[in-house]
Amino acid sequence: MSQINLPKLDKFYLLFGVVMLVSAFFVVFTFKSIFDAMRVSADIGAQFTEGELRIDKDKLDGAVKVAADKRVVQLEVR
């Protein structure tokens, strides 16, 4: 009977495999969370029709005007 002596795996490859698995799980979890949030936000926006939304046009225009007319403070670089 012949016995084949396989070389022992280096600890680097084991650690590398574990780190790759953990990072793959993290990436999948992150993208799943992002796309679930986008799906939920799209569902919330679809619940309301234009007639149900009560936006006071005057208040909205006033807020935009205040934001647009706000004085910008200039910084002095010395």
Domain boundaries, the chain: 11-70
Q: Please identify which residue in the block is written with the tokens 């403070």.
A: 73
Phi, psi at 71, each rounded to 5° = -75, 130
- Residues sharing a CB contact under 8 Å with residue 47, sequence separation 6 or more, in sequence order: none
Q: What is the mean pLDDT of residues 6-16?
A: 87
Q: Which amino acid makes up residue 28?
A: V
Prediction pTM value:
0.48
The DSSP symbol for 7 reads P
Q: For residue range 22-72, what is the model confidence (pLDDT) as tens digits?
A: 999 999 999 999 999 988 887 766 666 666 667 788 888 999 999 899 888
